[in-house]
Amino acid sequence: MNQPERRQVLRQHGTAASASSGVAIGQVQRLSSLMPHVPHHHISNSMVELELDRFRHARQAAITRAQKELESLARMEDSNPALLIKAHLMLLNDPNFINAIIVHIRDGLHNCGWSIQLGVSSMLGKFNTTEDTYLHEMRNQIMHAGHRITSHLTETDTSPLDSNHDTIILADDIPLPEVVRYWQRGAAGLITFQGGANSHMIVMSRGIGIPALAGIEQTTLHHARDGDTIILDAERQRWILNPNPEDIAHYQRFTSAMQQANAELQNFANQASVTLDGVVVELLCNVEFPQELEQVLRSGVNGIGLLRTEFLFLTADHQPDEEEQFQFYRPFVNAMGDRPTTIRLLDIGADKSLAFDLLKNNNYSGENPALGMRGIRLLLHAPELLRAQIRALLRLSEHGSIKILVPMITHRDQMEQVRTIIRNEAMDLGIAADTVPLGAMIEVPAAAIIADELAEVSDFFSIGSNDLIQYTLAADRCDENVFGCRRDIAAHPAILQLISMAAASAHAADIPISLCGELAADPAWIKPLIQAGITTFSMHCNKILPQRRHIRHLMVGNQNSSAATSG
Amino acid sequence: MTNDADKPNQHQKITLTICNKLGLHARASAKLAACTSAFDCDISLDKEGVAINGKSILGIMMLAAAKGTELTITVDGHDAAAALNAIQQLVENRFGEDE
């Protein structure tokens, strides 16, 4: 945390490709993109042994984890990922590697995390500077070995950021676990140069409710220095560096108005979601990580409609096993009590890449991932992965009310296969499988079209509107050109027609149906969707209260006839 | 890395050329370090006068030995001959790589 240099300050402003929500005014803190951010402090001579001990423990934990990863790859001993893990393990045990780091603790009197950075930098510095791809790869492995140790230090590296002012983190990119860590350490906002409309950093920031911007043109914010004042306006996707007093006054008024609006919205937390003409609507929330639960509970929901399970997998540097998954899902179920938690089986493959890219290295990713191995297709090809998740969920079912949702269903037999696996694992665990409802995600047009058939093998439906739009209209959700007119795209009559078909099949079979995705959170869509026969919606928890207010002022009109005729 | 006192010490030296396309990259370094670490004898690798401990993966990686690099391998210890033989095989088999 360097002191800012004396220099001319220039007011500058610009936009971002994507934003979470909220506004923050604070001081810039830039991060190096090379290494995860770790705090730096000097230690006294009497602290050296303690700090060396921290290093020893973190290194041992890193070794144990790498060995576990290697065991999970036992069948592919000579595959590239296994060899790289072996290389990491050897580095972690290599006295030269260890000494290059601990010299900075013992002689430099730096804290452990910082010493790892210094040690890794000095090792990298010893390579010839000639740019060669294979040198680059080796540098990466040394860096990764360092990361492995650092990642086990983080539990203790949660010291608050500078408490004298609000800190806004500015970085090339912020990995997902770091986003949570900065939030926990009290960062007021996050800005990354990288990232487009679908930046995961933004999705995560939205989830935990921290103002964030992604996708900034480098040149404009390039010369921001530590300590510069910046306004981060995630509501209007813009920023102002070195704002003038008018800017600050304007934003202070804006934030206080926002706080007041939020306080008024909070009145809707304990009210029923009923339209003026008496249609009872159920509002559920989408969640991804436990940090969101506080906000979820404040918004008064009927349950969790979509618990995405990718977070744990995307942030882990190894494949989470049954027990880790069980421990990860448990707080959600505990927080919901009697209210149901719908957990979606792992949906990776399309626009999400695994940090631990075991699956990728197994050649599971195709040329066109959105049409390739994702969702249930991938899970049925990786039965170990599916079984571990199902076992964790079955064990969870003994602690609360859970439902299992299967992503990317296109065929009836996929549901049947999953049900067989659930039954077998339940028998093995001695748990009653019949108590856990199994639902099909309706997100591919084919599933909506054969919804009547799927209803015979499903206990409930959940329409994934984002993917349903993408697959129906052949419109890439990651393509910013198409994304820009998304709202118009959803208005295509095919969308509502497919939704109505699924709803009609669900009603005929007397199974519940809900809808998630961006349409659920869009006030303009609530009425047509209720008319199409959907009365349960799952959305991000910060959309629940505005949506409930909207519903309480809504006249739906003729509900049933519309549902019967459309589709 | 201690020598077995019961057996006579052997001191041998050989020069090998890295012949796999990618050179001593991270995975090949891991294979070489795994191989050298299996022996009791001291092993050092020398590239253009820079010698490193042949059992240290970091040392091997730092050599940055691309294809065509000549490495002088020196072994010292009771199982030196076997070590040299294993290292030679690994290098000449291109660390199990196709090219």
A408-462 pLDDT per residue, tens? 999 999 999 999 999 999 999 999 878 899 999 999 999 999 999 999 999 999 9
CATH number for the domain spanning A455: value is 3.20.20.60
Give the list of residues 6+ apart from residue A236 with CB closer than 8 angstroms, or none.
none
Cα A314 to Cα A67, A97, A307, A363: the distances in Å are 20, 28, 15, 18
In a domain, A481, yes or no: yes
Least CB–CB distance from B57: residue in A78, A90, A128? A90
In a domain, A438, yes or no: yes
In a domain, A40, yes or no: no
Same domain, A145 and A233: no
> Residues 118-137, chain A: which have Cβ within 8 Å of B?
123, 126-128, 132, 134-135, 137
Question: Do residues A446 and A415 touch, judged by C-beta distance below 8 A?
Answer: no
Phi, psi at A241, each rounded to 5°: -95, 140
Cα A235 to Cα A128, A167, A211: the distances in Å are 47, 19, 9
Same domain, A203 and A228: yes
Question: Do residues A390 and A425 touch, judged by C-beta distance below 8 A?
Answer: yes
Same domain, A364 and A236: no
Encoded amino acid at A215, one letter? G
Question: Do residues A303 and A342 touch, judged by C-beta distance below 8 A?
Answer: yes
B interface residues, A as partner, C-beta within 8 Å:
22-23, 25-27, 29-31, 33-34, 53, 56-59, 61-62, 64, 66, 96
In a domain, A486, yes or no: yes
CA distance A22 to A235: 6
As a whole number of Å, the CA-based R_g of chain A is 25
In a domain, A275, yes or no: no
Last residue of a domain, one of A138, A156, A174: A156
What are the structural domains of chain B?
A: 10-96 (3.30.1340.10)
H helix count then E strand count, chain B: 3, 4
Give the list of residues 6+ apart from residue B39 with CB closer than 8 angstroms, or none.
B75, B77, B79, B80, B82, B83, B86
Interface contact B25-A137, CB threshold 8 A: yes
Same domain, A148 and A178: no
Same domain, A461 and A478: yes
For residue A556, the enclosing domain spans: 283-565
Phi, psi at A488, each rounded to 5°: -65, -40
Encoded amino acid at A293, one letter? L
Q: Does A77 touch chain B (CB under 8 A)?
A: no
For position A562, what pLDDT does the model report? 41
Same domain, A410 and A555: yes
Greatest CA span in chain B, whole angstroms?
Answer: 42
Last residue of a domain, one of A140, A156, A172: A156
Q: What is the full per-residue pLDDT of chain A (567 aa) written as tens digits?
A: 444 444 567 888 999 988 988 899 999 988 754 445 577 788 888 888 888 988 998 899 889 888 887 887 766 666 777 888 889 999 999 999 999 999 999 999 998 888 998 999 888 887 755 556 667 778 878 988 998 888 777 544 445 566 667 899 998 777 666 787 788 778 999 999 887 765 778 877 887 789 999 988 767 787 788 889 999 999 999 999 999 999 999 999 998 998 899 889 999 998 999 999 999 999 999 998 887 888 899 888 999 999 999 878 876 667 788 999 999 999 999 999 999 999 999 987 644 555 345 454 454 556 677 787 788 998 898 888 899 999 999 999 999 999 999 999 999 999 999 999 999 999 999 998 788 999 999 999 999 999 999 999 999 999 999 899 989 988 876 565 665 555 567 788 999 999 999 999 999 999 999 999 889 999 999 999 999 999 999 998 889 999 999 999 999 986 654 443 333
In a domain, A533, yes or no: yes
Distance from CA of A91 to the nearest CA of B (A): 6
| Residue of B10, B25, B56, B69 marked catalytic | B25
Interface contact B30-A78, CB threshold 8 A: no
Last residue of a domain, one of A111, A128, A156: A156
The string of DSSP codes covering A340-384 is -EEEEPP--SSS---SSTHHHHTT---SSGGGSS-HHHHHHH-HH
Question: Do residues A189 and A164 touch, judged by C-beta distance below 8 A?
Answer: no
Same domain, A182 and A212: yes
Same domain, A431 and A473: yes
Interface contact B34-A127, CB threshold 8 A: no
Total count of domains within chain A: 3
Share of chain A above pLDDT 70, in %: 84
CATH number for the domain spanning A131: value is 1.10.274.10
Same domain, A102 and A230: no
Same domain, A129 and A162: no
Mutant choice from B58, B93, B99 vs A, greatest count of A C-beta within 10 A: B58
For position A159, what pLDDT does the model report? 55
Least CB–CB distance from B62: residue in A83, A127, A132? A127
Cα A64 to Cα A57, A92, A148, A155, A363: the distances in Å are 10, 11, 11, 17, 27
Same domain, A171 and A310: no
Interface contact A141-B56, CB threshold 8 A: no
For position B11, what pLDDT does the model report? 87
Q: Does A138 touch chain B (CB under 8 A)?
A: yes
Specify the long-range contacts of residues A289-292, CB closer than 8 Å, at least 24 apart: A289/A180, A289/A204, A289/A207, A289/A208, A290/A328, A290/A331, A290/A332, A291/A180, A291/A183, A291/A184, A291/A207, A291/A208, A292/A207, A292/A208, A292/A541
Quote the DSSP letter at residue A428.
H
Q: For the segment A334-381, what is each residue's pLDDT rounded down to a tens digit? A: 999 999 999 999 987 644 555 345 454 454 556 677 787 788 998 898
H helix count then E strand count, chain A: 25, 16
CA distance A343 to A327: 14
Question: Do residues A100 and A122 touch, judged by C-beta distance below 8 A?
Answer: yes
